[in-house]
Structure 1
């Protein structure tokens, strides 16, 4: 039987990485260059040279990354009994285990926003009260803040990952100006401060103890302890002494300050421990979770010491016709497997409908004459998820199943549900929401309207009434009660918009939306400007979709049927992927379509924009399609036209 090592054709670069005996190695890899497989290949080399597998830490950033490690060990023929001895896991799990040893207790860990939702909402209420007393008018979040929870948690992850407050000033105090200097909104930092107080407590007046942890919190908590002037441990019982002989860090481009703080101390405490980091610095997107390419550049040299840097340029994902222009765009060497063939298309699409037909043509091409052929390997990678409304509608009408990744379907977006609810009341139609969508629609409407019901003691009691109300009861009584108790200007705006919609004319819908002022309402219930921009984009998409219908009630009827179709669609595995570019990182597809690569909207010299384009471009295996409008091609496409 032929072994996988005999089947795999190791490149000279991979052999050099495996043979390198330097204590500090950073592999600067390209997208699709078999980074994880090369890391596993190198680990097998360490073991062959006498390293104890029990003392090798193989770390990644996500559970899929850990599974990729496990699959790679099989590809390089590491025996199963050896693999079982390796310490493989996420950085977060490693830090949680070290904290458990230090704290002597296992702290609850939540991986989904729902698990910490109430803690964030409680923090919003406390932060608002304190901020209004000290800085009137500076706190921008109204209502309970339920719709802002996920955005706030992402902001918190960036604050923690970058350790922005710790690095800013030992005695940082929260003021609007200091928040601005730090690059975050005053509202975000005010809520963050109260959330952290809720998340942690002090035992007997001393010694912080976490009550629960969310994604990234274990790494953040451990990093803070490591830089503390008075840590709760000595050098003799240091939590990072694990007897490690080697640490292998995959996807190193996702490294942030919290992770790097742990890594630096891990290498320091475990004297003689070797390090291998593998990553692609061009895949750092929008500093998500505080990720910083600094650590693959000068940062490692400055903070730890100069490493041996080795290239990994041969991509196995796509062929030369894609590798060559991508290397030109990224200004780095890019080789490709000669046996792979890939193609690049640049198409003009001046309207949303023309973009939709590009997607339909790709789907039909994949299906051919077989309705059951694979669609899962066709992906549309979106710069702005709010722009997906028309595309989703088109796919539903054409009976092409799809799945959204990294964003909610337009049917589930709170601003769309809010507008649907008001329109249903205005034209007096009953039962316009499926059972599963009704709860989200009621909550979204409450958040946009604001207010506390008469007789309700607090927001919690109002929430219980909202959640338990039938659709008819909510529209006839609960909504009316909220409108009486919310701000006068908001109530007048909503009632005026509903009056305009009551004639059931689809031609009046743009006037209805303008009168409603959804964007202005959104600024009060979201903290991130990007969330407000997505609201505007999705409502624009909804207005364009509405043009296909003769009346408001026919639009609502169609949306109700789409609710049911979405539920049926979720049961199918064979679906086109609609993904944000950020969420596509680490994934690959036979055919990737990147629409709207236009000058002025997806180009420029910003590292974030360039890296976003690089990630989108490097997801395709066989065919990559760009679209742009006439005369407005992005400067990023120049390398792909040669």
Structure 2
């Protein structure tokens, strides 16, 4: 980190941070299109805020600055960052900071004669999607082979995901008239059913005159990009933006790219965007590294690229490991050492989960709170063994995005069978879970209850807990329903079993009789999703152990109550790696780092490398990798990190950073305060440094009350 903060002349001098050489160059650069190629934790948002501050200092009106981001959270972070570096709050309020979707809605509202009904959640889209399914059946039912149409909730959700992908990639506007349907689907990466349903859904949404009747998530972005693509003069409706900023360019898709290009085409507009191509993990939603790599350069040949290599999140230990893993330059100016721990387990996943628990205990013994911990798993099938290990250790956790395994359709289905066989629906306390159990019985049991009737049935079951009435009416006495006889058979089998029968044996027999693997393969379009369901069920069965059916039922319900009771305070985060992007944690634990998980052979190697990279770079203080003892089973990604080979260089860099911190102006005494300590140190007078992300004691203040955190 340079001592000289004036490497190049800049009009705007920020508060509270010492800029790096790279940041100053980006702040003062003058070019039509500037791309920032950043590393994880390299202060992308802060650097973009510096560029905005520079523009305002050069008399660019705040109203002519547009910032585009992908999430509401990113929008709020940008506003805070601008204020933190010294841009006056009144000026921040005048800057247009929008998500792509909100910006598109704003632009479309200028040219549309009437308001468009918003459908912000998936449930509102179910009715038009079911109409689209009916239309596909009428138009193509007799002419298209392998057409598999379903109207249950899971199928509709998958159709909605497919049309979202087609819109993000602009695939719906990229249909070649004479191209064979199968060839088109292979090129677009969707099934024939998904493409035909998506086309019919759009016909319903847009009507005869291409005036939308409603818009769901991402529809405004797509509609604006489609209009631009069709030659509509939407650019003339844009404000006279002098500077357009885009954060997290690694999430850019084709629809958003076309909107950005239309903005840049305005003669007085300059563009600055930042992203990390190694964080592209949402490829299914159209995100691609090619936008950072070459698409901007192809579209705007005079594009300039600037690096942002210095991470402010973690120490040199992890920075140099990622340099080795990704074969790119990575540096760190963090003075606090990051510890990388590799913990090994023998064979079973349960042993790996116990390693995770012990790592958390070590963290607590070091004086840190569990609220700074995150267990980031490869996918949700690992959460079964992980949640049970945490519960047995009485360690509270939250599953903010992924949700607990006890609320997944495949597990709810088995819970429903147990509830009917044991005549004990009252043990399920949550109204939402009761409704979900009924829906899971319909879905996995193949009952095909009409949607309107299913809504009424779920409400009645949740209110009165009369699940046996549901069984008698919709399963036992409903011979016309496709899956009812088979489901009735397995329920009778479980009901008639000896009270001393082991739950694992009975439930495994249930899965075999119903051919649960075939059900999963039929319900899920992607083979990987079906494989996760099967692994999740296997994990669920494994925890039954030597318990009887009633004992296992009681354990399940106690586990659910534990999760509810311990999900609010002083708890760790348990989630999938893919949900952690944009976040950071003091201690990151990645369990089960082994072959066929990292990398998973069902996905491109590049995507798997990026997923691992995102997971490990969330760490700030500790990174724990839990991997098999058998080196043949270990993921090759650990070897590629070259942990031992980079340690000597990292230690030298650590000393350099510590010396630089000591040589810094003596205005701040930094504290080792965890997130759970923030309110206490703040009440004692400590202040927060948003750049270093640490609390400090201002000069002149008595340091004695803070001794515990030095």
What TM-score, normalized by structure 2, do the two folds share? 0.82
TM-superposed deviation, 1:128:
4.2
Q: CA deviation at 1:576?
A: 1.4
- For residues 484 and 382 of structure 1, the distance between their equivalents in structure 2, rounded to whole angstroms, comes to 42
Summarize deviations over 1:237-287 as a string: whole Å, max 9, x none.
x33x2100010111111111100111111111x212101011101110141
Cα displacement (A) at 1:180: 2.8
User: How many residues in Structure 1 have an aligned counterpart in Structure 2?
Assistant: 618
Which residue of 2 is the match for residue 249 of structure 1?
246
| 2:334 is the counterpart of 1:348 | no
Structure 1: 5+ residue stretches without partners: none
Q: Conserved in 1, the CA contact under 8 Å of 2:349 and 2:592?
A: no
Name the CA distance, whole Å, in 2 between partners of 1:220 and 1:27. 26
Q: Show the counterpart of 2:195.
A: 189
Q: SS state of the match for residue 299, structure 1?
A: helix
Matching residue within 456, 459, 464 for 1:464: 456
SS of equivalent to 2:412: helix
Counterpart in the other structure of 1:550: 547
Structure 2 matches for 1:251-400, cutoff 5 A? 251-268=248-265, 270-349=266-345, 350-368=347-365, 374-400=369-395
The answer on whether the counterparts of 2:398 and 2:563 sit within 8 Å (CA) in structure 1 is no
How far, CA to CA, are the matches of 1:412 and 1:32 in structure 2?
34
Partner of 1:402: 397
Task: After TM superposition, list the pairs within 5 Å mapping 1:415-564 onto structure 2.
Answer: 415-436=410-431, 437-452=433-448, 458-469=450-461, 470-480=465-475, 484-487=479-482, 491-492=485-486, 495-496=489-490, 498-499=492-493, 502-503=496-497, 504=499, 505-506=501-502, 507-508=504-505, 509-547=507-545, 549-564=546-561
Residue 108 of structure 1 is matched in structure 2 by 117
Q: Deviations over 1:477-496 (max 9, x none)?
A: 234257522336x7336614
Q: Deviations over 1:590-640 (max 9, x none)?
A: 111111221233137721111111111111001111122212121111124
Q: CA deviation at 1:567?
A: 3.0
* 1:562-594 residue CA offsets vs partner (Å, 9 max, x unmatched): 333333334x13321111111100000011111
Measured after TM superposition, the shift of residue 174 of structure 1 is 7.8
Higher relative contact order (CA 8 A, sep 6+): 1
SS in 2 for 1:97: helix
Aligned partners of 1:494, 1:537: CA distance in 2, in Å? 25
Match of 1:590 in 2: 586
Structure 1 Cα separation of the partners of residues 332 and 101 of structure 2? 34
Contact 1:27 / 1:311 at 8 angstroms: preserved in 2?
A: yes
2:614 maps to what in 1?
Answer: 615
Residues 442-500 of structure 1 deviation map (CA, whole Å, 9 limit, x = unaligned)? 011011222356xxxx5423542354244334444234257522336x73366147515
Q: 2: distance between equivalents of 1:304 and 1:471? A: 65
Query: Which of 123, 133, 151 is residue 132 of structure 2 equivalent to?
Result: 123
Q: How many angstroms apart in 2 are the aligned matches of 1:621 and 1:266? A: 37
Shift of 1:212: 1.9
CA separation of 1:459 and 1:50: change in aligned 2, threshold 3 A:
closer
Say whether 1:152 aligns with 2:159: yes
In 2, are the aligned partners of 1:300 and 1:306 still within 8 Å (CA)? no
Answer whether contact 2:396 2:572 (CA < 8 A) is retained.
yes
Deviation at 1:380, TM superposition (A): 1.1
Greater Cα shift, 290-299 or 432-441: 432-441
Deviation for aligned residue 1:396: 2.4
- 2:148 is matched with which residue: 140, 151, 162? 140
Q: Is residue 593–residue 624 contact of structure 1 (8 Å, CA) maintained in 2?
A: yes
2:64/2:95 contact within 8 Å kept? yes
In the other structure, the counterpart of 2:23 is 14
> Partners in 2 of 1:210 and 1:331 — Cα distance?
47
Distance 2:425 2:109 in 1: 54
Change (3 A) 1:15 1:234: closer
RMSD: 2.5
1:222 corresponds to which residue?
224
Which has the higher mean CA deviation after the structures are superposed, 185-194 or 116-125? 116-125
Structure 1: how far apart are the matches of 2:579 and 2:607? 15
Contact 1:121 1:146 in 2 (8 A): no
Q: Could you say which residue in structure 2 is the equivalent of 1:212?
A: 214
Do 1:188 and 1:527's aligned partners in 2 also have CA atoms closer than 8 Å?
Answer: no
Relative distance call for 1:466 and 1:76 in structure 2 (3 A) is closer
Indicate the SS of the match to 2:174: helix
Say if 1:309 and 1:472 are closer, same or farther in 2 by CA, change over 3 A.
closer
Cα drift, residue 554 of structure 1: 1.2
Contact 1:452 1:485 (8 Å CA) reproduced: no
Unaligned runs of 5+ in 2: 1-11, 646-710
Bigger Cα displacement from structure 2, 246-255 vs 99-108: 99-108
1:123 and 1:322 map into 2 onto residues whose CA distance is 50
In the other structure, the counterpart of 1:81 is 90
Matches for 1:567-578 after TM superposition, within 5 Å: 567-570=564-567, 572-578=568-574
